[in-house]
Each structure stands twice: as C-alpha cells, then as structure tokens.
Structure 1
Amino acid sequence: MKFKMPTAYTILVAIIIVVAILTWIVPAGEYELGENDAPVPGTYEQLPEEETTPQGAFDVMMAPIRGFYDAIDVALFVLVIGGFLGVVMKTGAIDAGIAKVVETFKGRESWMIIILMALFSLGGSTYGMAEETIAFYPLIIPVFIAAGYDAVTGVSVILLGAGVGVLGSTVNPFATGIASGFADVALGKGILIRLIMLVAGLILAILYTTRYAKKVKDDPSKSLVADMGESNKEYFLGKKDEGEFPELTGKRLFILVLFALTFATMIYGVLPLEDFGVEAIPTLWWWFPELTALFLVAAIIIGFIHAFGEDDFGEEEFIDSFVTGAKDLLGVALIVGVSRGITVVMNAGNITSTVLHAGETTLSQAGRIPFIILTYLFYIPLSFLIPSTSGLATVSMPIMAPLGDFANVARSLVITAYQSASGIVNLVTPTSAVVMGGLAIGRVPYGKWLKYVWKFLVIIFIMTILALILGLYINI
C-alpha cells in the first residue's frame, strides 16, 4: 500500500498527542512573572511533583475544543469572510474581473507575481500581515489558474510573499514592536539589517516562485498538483471557457471597487499608525471582531447593490449565497481551532517554561558568532511550538535578550534572530492556522507544499545566518 500524507487534521491531532506525552517526560517548571506577565530571567524553578499537571487522554480530547474557544475570533472571521466572498462571487464581479486581469496581463502574467509578492511582503514587514492574508486566497488563486498557472503558484505568491515580509519585519508591532519593548531597545534599532533581509528574502521568493510558475505554464504536467488540475479549474473558475466569463459591466466594476475598498479598510484598521509616529491620521486598533463586522456589513451592502435591476436576487438568495460561502470555509475554521490546541496542551502541562530555560542555560556562555547562530537555531523549534510571533516574543524575549549582553551581541540582533526563525517556521508549520488555512483554501495538500517549499527554506536558512553574522558588525 502506497503511503499517503495524512490530512491536516490528523497531523495536528498527532502533534497534540506527542506534546501531551512530553508533558509526562519533560520536567514541568515556571518563571516568576513580571510586567505584562513576562517571565523574569534567572527565576526558573522546576515544579514539585505534586504541582505538575501532565496531560492525559481527556486533556488531549479537550485540547481542540479549548483551542477552538481560544481561537473563536479567528474562526468566526474566516466564516464571515467565506460568506462575504460567496455574495461577491454570486454577483459575477470576480469572474468578470478575472477575465479582465488575464486579458490585461496577456503575455505578461509574471508581473502579477512580482507586484503581488512585493505588496504582501510590505504588509508582512510593516504590520505583520499574516491571518489577514486568508481573505486573499479565494481572490488571487483563480487569477493565476485562469492565467495558466496552478494553485501552488497562487499559494506561493501569498504565503511566501507575506512570509518573507514577516521574516524581515522592520516596524511590525506584533513581532519587532513587542519584542523591542521586552528587550528594552528602540523599535528602529537594527532596522538596517532587517531591511537587507527583507529585500534579499523578497528577491529570492520572487525568483523561486516565478521559476516554478514558468515551468508549470510551459508544461502543466510539471505542476505538483497536476492530478487536481481539472478539478481545481472547475472549483475555482467553474466550467467556463475564457469567452464565457460575464461582462465587466458598470455595476460589477462598482462592486469590485467596493470589494477593494473593503480590503483597504481592513489594512487601515489594523495598521498601528500611532506606533509609527503618525498622529494626523487616527489609529483604529481594529482586530478580528471589528474586521468580522467590516466584512459582514460589506457583504450586505454589495448584496443590496447587486439586487438592483436583478429579478432573481432577493433576501433569500443573499442568505443562501452567504451561507454557502461560509460553508466552503468551514474546514478552514476547524483547522484554526485544532491548531490552537497544541499551545493549550503545552501551557497546561507547564513545559513551555522548561523549553525556555534550556535556551537560557545553553546560550549565555557562547561567543558572538556561535551565540547568534545558536539563538536562531534555538528559536526554530520554539517557533514551531509557539507559532504566534507576539506570544513567542512575550514569553521568551525577557529571557533571551539579556543573554546577548553576556556574549557582546546587541539585543536588537537577538530580536532579528527571533523574528527570522519565527518567519521561516511559519512558512511551513502545521501549528499555524495561516499555513494550514491557506493550503486548505488553495486545495494544496500539505505534503505537496512541503515538496514545493523545502528548497526555498534551505536558501532562506542560509541567507538568514549570513545576515545575522553581518548584523554583528552593523549597529544601525
């Protein structure tokens, strides 16, 4: 019997079981907590046996449920995004827009890859664009499939584009900002090496994606999802020839404008302008509840506009379109909850602090170059266990940043090592709802994604280490 890669659900549940087993093996411990519940360096203590809480079968069963409760804001956002897209798709505006984009870039489709990846990386570097990208997959993947590429190309444009942006975060408040606060350094400290990493990472990602895309377009059988080619075309585009796409009427164009404005509003709502010193424009500090409401209201407005002049689109048809769209992303919402269950088990078993303590005792005695490389290597498995950049910064930076003082390494470079490790891991980790959700929407099996991206990970890994060594001699 030929081996078949398990589904995302099976992989995540298996990881939960493994982590639960580790809570019986790895000693439980805790740090004293200081400001903002951050661990205080040098205060780790192993818990006495009577205070340990190893996780059993019941805890494993409850982990996905508790994870879903913890991630309900993200899950609801995904469902409402699905409903919003269901309504927009019903208007025919997306199909008409796809046809127009393909027509405009006929013979120049590679420019779409360059422009979109640059935009996504800018969002990742400046405000940590990650979960927000989930909304773009159903919009962008059909464009690339219609242009003769495949779903892997579309996923690569979004996931690698935003991913290298987060890896090279410059002023990202959820990674660089939080970490800088706990490390007690200015947000802009170390920005030059991060800009170098951002530009280098983006160039590598664009070259990697365009090379694969060209190979697929020249020979569709070279696609990693060639066996799903016709199925994906039908799923994302419907059974339409290029000439059968709906006409881009004035009303459909207006709906597309509203569609774009909705996403622009989303970006403005989460952009922390105040942290960037911008006071002329108010910072909204929106997050998932406000974003969910934004897409819900936008769906209703677009539904009303489409209803004008349409005899076959009323209140019942609007609800059906919305519910059908939400149903299409139900699997994505479930993955979000299950993936969060891993962190639930780790925290409940009190082994997160023990993992941090291992880093504290190992790294503090190393020299400059070994220290920064070991710090990066240490953060890779830690990022796998704690995929949230802000969460990882909160629990680790108060411990890790001061260790750099002993090795004569700038704290800002420790931050760069942390966010680089988190960035590379979050391109592939099954504990990330962004990765698993994006692959689920794009209908790209996890095993196929690993086969596609592993060479890029090696390239980025080497580039990051070289950049970190260079950062030892750049203090800007």
Structure 2
Amino acid sequence: MKKFWEKHDLVKIAGIMVLFVVLLSWVIPQGYWSGSELMVSDITRVGIFDFFTYGLLGIYYFPVVVTFLFLLGGFYQLLGKIKGYQRLTDGVAKTFKGNEILFALLVSFFIAALSAIINDNFVVLAFIPFFITVLSKLKLDKLTGVAITFGSLLIGMLGSVYGQSVAGVNASELSADYNTFLWVKLALFGAAFVIFNLFNVLHIKKVLKNKKADLIEDTFKSEEITKPKTIWPVATILILFVIITIMAYLPWSKALGVDIFEKATTWIKEVEILDSPIFAYIFGSTDAFTSFGSWDLFGIQVVMMVATLFIKLAYKVSWNDYLTAFGEGLKKSGKLVIILLVCYNIAAFSVMFPVIPTVIDWLMNLLDKFNVILGTIGGFITSLFSVEYRYTVQLVGKYFITNYSEFAKQSALMLQSTYGLASFITPASAFLFIGLSYVGVSYKDWFKYIWKFLVAMFVVIVILMLIIF
C-alpha cells in the first residue's frame, strides 16, 4: 500500500485536500452574498451522499476539458508513431544541442506570453507535448520539463494581460478594464518570468553537469508505424495547427478591439449562392461556426481530429494503426483526467459549501481598515481552493470590491496575482497537477524546487500592492 501511494502521490494529496474542504464544512459556517452584504449562515455539513453526489458533478460540469485531454493524448500518440515527426523533433533537438538553456528560455517565453493573452489556458496544453519531446531529446530532467512548460503557463496566468481566463474575468466580474494598471500586470509578468527562469537556468546548469539526473521520458514515444521519413507533411500540418489555434483563441474583439474576424464570419454566414446561404450550410450552425476569438474548447478538438486525418493520409497510416494509436493515447491520458477531476472537486466543494468567505471576512476584520498584507494573504488562501480564477472571484471578489470599493481595481490585481502564485503549489491547480502527472514528478520534489520562487514572488507582489493601494 505504501508503494501504491508513493506512485500515486498526486491523487493522494489532491484527495486529502478534498477531504480537508469537506472537514471545513463541519466546523465553519457558510458565507454567502445577499446584495452587497456578506451573510453568515448556519454550519452546513457535507454528508456521505453529498460527498459522492457533488464529487461526480465534475464529470457533468467539465466534460469538454475531459474530452480535450483524451483527444490530446490520441493526437500526440499518433504523432509519436510517425517517423517524420520523430525526425522533426530530432532536428529541433539537434539544432539546440549545446544551447539547451536558450531553447528552455525561448519555450518558456512562448508559453508564458501565450498564456497571458489567450482566451483559454487549456489551449496552451496543445503545444506542450511537442516541447516535452524535444526537451527529452536534449537530455534534460523531469523538473526542468515541468517548469519550462507547465510552470511557464502559470507565469502567464499570474501576469495575465488580456487572457480571458484571468484578466477577462477581472473585466467582466470586477469591472477592471484590461488596461487598468497595465504597468503592474507587465511588472508582475516580467518579475515572475525573470525570477522563475533564474532558478530554472541555475537548475539546468546542474543537470547538464550531472549525468545521473532523472531525465524526461517521452510519454508518447512508441514503435513507429510509417515508412516515409519525410518531414515536410507533418511539419506543414503542425505549423497550420499552431497558426489556426493561436488565431482562433486570441481575444481579438473582447480585449484587442479588432472586429475584422467577426465581420468576415458574418459575411460568410450571410453570403448566398442561388438564394441559399451555402457556406453556412457547409460550415455548420450559427452557434457552432464562430469567428476567431470566440472559439470554445470544442473548436481545437475539431482541429486536432482534422489534423490527425491529414496525417493519416499523408503517411498512409492504416485505419487499424490509426485507431490503435488513438486508443493508446486515450489510455495514457486517463491518469490526467483522473487528476483533473479530483482537482475540480476541490473547487466544487469550496463553491457549493462556501466557508472560505467566512474565513476571509474574519481575517480582514482583524484590523479596522483595509490592510494590503492581510488582503494578499486572504487572496492567496482563497486561491488555494480555486481550480480556476473565476472561483476565486466568485468566493471573495465581491467581498473586496464592495467592502473596499475605493480599492476595487487594485483588489482585482491583488486577487489575480495571488491566484497565479497559489497555482504553483495548491492541489487545486489542475494545470500543475496535470503537468506533474504527465512528466512524472512527485509533489514533494516540486515543492522543494519551487518554494524559493514562491517566497521571492510573494515579496514582489506585496511590494507592488503597497505601491498601488
């Protein structure tokens, strides 16, 4: 049993966090909003039937993320069997051999910057397995693999500028315009990126000198099923995949004020040939066929499926090999889905049995007036239970902007930064735990790796908050 829990330590730790949230419901009364006033009700305990009923709701509420992870596994498992793809990643690794640190920094910046401006951070996961494969061929270790990819994604969330999962929530729920305190967002992003990668570079230098490091294993590397070795078909397909994905998920209209794609999509839907909206018939219904900047997570799944079919045709993969590869990928993604659902259950119980607002109200009332340090700690505590930023806002966002209305816009940045910081350590961080599970890094090893960065960034956040409050 001990070996079992050592092997599945992430499930154990996330499960303990779920039980901790349940336990809180037995000792702390719920806090909820009635207009602008926080009402503290009686203690409402999570019972056995509540536990299993709400525990299963994750499958009901988040199926699109589940199908995305499964399809992502199938997509990259098929690629892993294509000889042209292996030659492509070999070529990238060969190009950066001897310049591993440069490659790591380039990848880190690409992922962090994309995460800071994209509509849905889950979309960024679509590119990570490619980089993990190259990092494995550069003989870098697992901690580096997690940090450079999934860690950089969290950097982008911490310093989110236009990203709809964080900055977009501030704009829609907390009335914090995208350009409000833009310099603070850029300072958060810049400081986090520099400090984070300072530790990464120091670690990589040690790894390159240590031949006994725990090297990355490519999860989707398997027996090749194709004879053609040509690179250009898979390279072309992947380049188009990257371009379409990035274009489709940038907040063109909402944040950037660019409406050309909305107008183009409307024109395509309305243009008629022989009195029939032929393109609307071809591309699908109004709800399904949306403009770049408005795609949901189903859109990229369609693109991945189409890409796999082109790969199948280009490399003459049989249907049997195609379906077998997809099945193997789905199986490998299973552990990621389990981790995801456990992480989401932390948020589910925290939101449906909201004791956190009561805790934060008690904390903030320790002093007669608003205190930046207490507010920062309060935001951090809330985010420990939030799998997505919108849940942090749902739990305490209105509390801060209502009770401290003179600091409403500053409070939005405070919650954003503390959420991003908490995501590097909390079991509720789905991106972190998916990354640790995917690469094969224990929570203990990650904590030992990241704690210095957490301390440094907490100090930076407090300083910035003291400046703007």
TM-score class normalised by the smaller sequence: 0.7 to 0.9
What residue number does 1:22 align with?
A: 24
- TM-aligned CA deviation for residue 81 of structure 1: 0.7
Question: Match for 2:121 among 124, 130, 136?
Answer: 130
1:193 aligns with 2:196: no
**In 2 relative to 1, CA 204–29 (structure 1 residues): closer, same or farther, beyond 3 Å?**
closer
The amino acid that maps onto 1:29 is G
1:141 aligns with 2:145: no
What residue number does 1:399 align with?
A: 399
CA distance in structure 2 between the aligned counterparts of 1:347 and 1:467, rounded to whole angstroms? 29
SS of the residue corresponding to residue 144 of structure 1 reads helix
What residue number does 2:10 align with?
A: 8
CA distance in structure 2 between the aligned counterparts of 1:399 and 1:345, rounded to whole angstroms? 19
The amino acid that maps onto 1:197 is L
- TM-aligned CA deviation for residue 270 of structure 1: 2.1
- Superposed, which structure 2 residues align to 1:205-284 within 5 Å? 205-221=196-212, 223=213, 226=214, 229=215, 232-233=216-217, 249-250=229-230, 252-275=231-254, 276-282=256-262, 283-284=292-293
**In 2 relative to 1, CA 403–458 (structure 1 residues): closer, same or farther, beyond 3 Å?**
same
What residue number does 1:41 align with?
A: 36
Question: Match for 2:352 among 327, 348, 351?
Answer: 348
Contact 1:68 1:334 in 2 (8 A): no
**In 2 relative to 1, CA 93–64 (structure 1 residues): closer, same or farther, beyond 3 Å?**
farther
CA distance in structure 1 between the aligned counterparts of 2:191 and 2:211, rounded to whole angstroms? 29
**In 2 relative to 1, CA 459–352 (structure 1 residues): closer, same or farther, beyond 3 Å?**
closer
The amino acid that maps onto 2:153 is A
What residue number does 2:465 align with?
A: 468
What residue number does 1:35 align with?
A: none
What residue number does 2:448 align with?
A: 451
**In 2 relative to 1, CA 434–248 (structure 1 residues): closer, same or farther, beyond 3 Å?**
farther
Contact 1:175 1:389 in 2 (8 A): yes
- Superposed, which structure 2 residues align to 1:101-180 within 5 Å? 101-127=92-118, 130-180=121-171
1:318 aligns with 2:315: no
**In 2 relative to 1, CA 128–153 (structure 1 residues): closer, same or farther, beyond 3 Å?**
farther
SS of the residue corresponding to residue 273 of structure 1 reads coil
- TM-aligned CA deviation for residue 17 of structure 1: 1.6
- TM-aligned CA deviation for residue 438 of structure 1: 1.2
Alpha-carbon RMSD across the aligned residues, in angstroms, is: 2.6
- TM-aligned CA deviation for residue 65 of structure 1: 1.9
1:366 aligns with 2:369: yes
SS of the residue corresponding to residue 31 of structure 1 reads strand
* Alignment TM-score, normalising by the size of structure 1: 0.84
Aligned positions, number:
436
What residue number does 2:303 align with?
A: 294
What residue number does 2:268 align with?
A: none
- TM-aligned CA deviation for residue 45 of structure 1: 2.1
- TM-aligned CA deviation for residue 359 of structure 1: 5.4
Question: Match for 2:74 among 83, 99, 102?
Answer: 83
Deviation by residue 1:217-271 (Cα, 9 ceiling, x = unmatched): 11133x4xx3xx4xx547565699xxxxx99944x32212212322332222222
Q: Which moved more, 1:433-442 or 1:6-15?
A: 6-15
- TM-aligned CA deviation for residue 332 of structure 1: 0.3
- TM-aligned CA deviation for residue 6 of structure 1: 5.5
The amino acid that maps onto 1:304 is L
SS of the residue corresponding to residue 30 of structure 1 reads strand
Question: Match for 1:55 among 46, 51, 55?
Answer: 46
Deviation by residue 1:268-292 (Cα, 9 ceiling, x = unmatched): 2222210111122334411222222
Contact 1:68 1:336 in 2 (8 A): no
What residue number does 1:72 align with?
A: 63
1:429 aligns with 2:409: no
- TM-aligned CA deviation for residue 63 of structure 1: 4.0
What residue number does 1:310 align with?
A: none
1:438 aligns with 2:432: no
- TM-aligned CA deviation for residue 455 of structure 1: 1.3
Q: Which moved more, 1:62-71 or 1:337-346?
A: 62-71
SS of the residue corresponding to residue 97 of structure 2 reads coil
- TM-aligned CA deviation for residue 15 of structure 1: 1.7
Contact 1:335 1:433 in 2 (8 A): yes
SS of the residue corresponding to residue 165 of structure 2 reads helix
Q: Which has the higher contact order (CA 8 A, sep 6+)?
A: 1
Contact 2:29 2:40 in 1 (8 A): yes
List runs of 5+ in structure 2 lacking aligned partners: 263-291
- TM-aligned CA deviation for residue 382 of structure 1: 0.2
Contact 2:170 2:177 in 1 (8 A): no
